[in-house]
Each structure stands twice: as C-alpha cells, then as structure tokens.
Amino acid sequence: MRVTENSVVRFHYDLYNKDGELLESSREGEPSIYLHGANNIIRGLEQALEGSEPGARLEVELSAEQAYGRRRDQLQQRVPIKHLLFKGKLRAGMAVQLNTDKGRRSVTVTKAGRHSADIDGNHPLAGQALRFVVDVVDLREAEPEEIAHGHAHGPGGHQH
C-alpha cells in the first residue's frame, strides 16, 4: 500500500531549521496522523509523502514559500489589549487569540504595554526554510466519514 489520495497516514517527524537546529519532533509521543490530499499538513510535505510506503524515511527540504510562507509585515500591528484573549500576565513571546471582526486569530505578542500590545500574526515558522525527516509509520484507507470531514479521526487526529 502506498500513500495516495484518501490515505490516512501516521508518521513521525523531526523538524530542523536551515542551521540544523531541531525545532520540533513527534518522536516522544504519538505519531502525527493526517488525511492525504486534504490539505491537513503543509503542501510541500504532503507532496513528498505521495507514493511512499510504511517504513519509508524521507528527508524533505522546503523553502519558506513551500513551508509556511514568507513573513508579511502587514501582519504586525499594535492593538488594544481588550481585543486579546489570554490567561495570566501578558508577556512578549506569548501566543494569544486576537478578536477581529472576522473571528479569532492566533497571534504572537512581541511587546506588551499597559493598554496596548504589539502583535505578530505571522506563523512562528513563516519566512524560514525547513528540513523535515519523516518516517512513515503506517497507513490505511480513510473511512467515508473522514473523507466527508476532510480530516483523519482517531488517536492523534481529530476527535469528536
């Protein structure tokens, strides 16, 4: 069996930046799980996994554009603190939710003042070239419900 449209794939990964520093790893916990062809993971990684088999190891180098995109300056702004949702004391580096007229967005605080805060709505990995080392653990065909929902169900996936 090979990874193709509507495969549910479990994989372990290590994520490095261009300097070879380890940024994230799944190996201490459950493998990641996703529905192939449903845009659940970044596109460059999904393309690299196409056609691979259980047990395969892939090394995938992605430019910033192929990974989380370029950093966009217009996503940095100063907002009143009352528009932010957070617990505890607001600090630089904190991930918080921003209330906008289009719903909530995840942003990172870059500077916290008394009444306002500077925030950055870029993905923390935007603007970075990344290297993934991926091990395909196993795969199965998606259930019709998973295809209808556009994501995988079960341990490590989306639960209802």
Which single residue brings its beta carbon nearest to Zn ion?
149
User: Nearest distance from residue 40's CB to Zn ion, in Å?
Assistant: 11
User: How many Å separate Cα 113 from the centre of its chain?
Assistant: 29
32-61: contacts with Zn ion (CB under 5 A): none
**Count of positions on this chain that bind Zn ion (CB under 5 A):** 2
Task: Report the residue number, 83 or 149, with the smaller CB distance to Zn ion.
Answer: 149
In whole angstroms, give the CA distance from residue 120 to residue 152: 30
Beta bridge partners of 96: 107
User: Nearest distance from residue 158's CB to Zn ion, in Å?
Assistant: 5
123 binds Zn ion (CB under 5 A): no
Dihedral Cα 121, 28, 38, 105, nearest 10 deg: -20
User: Nearest distance from residue 60's CB to Zn ion, in Å?
Assistant: 27
CA–CA–CA angle 38, 45, 16 (5° rounding) = 140
User: Nearest distance from residue 62's CB to Zn ion, in Å?
Assistant: 27
The answer to whether 111 touches 118, Cβ cutoff 8 Å, is yes
Candidate segments 7-15, 22-30, 32-40, 148-156, binder of Zn ion by CB under 5 A: 148-156
147 binds Zn ion (CB under 5 A): no
Q: Could you say which of 149, 154, 155, 156 contacts Zn ion (CB under 5 A)? A: 149
The answer to whether 33 touches 154, Cβ cutoff 8 Å, is yes
Task: Give the count of beta carbons closer than 10 Å to the beta carbon of residue 60.
Answer: 19
Residues near Zn ion (CB under 5 A)? 149, 158
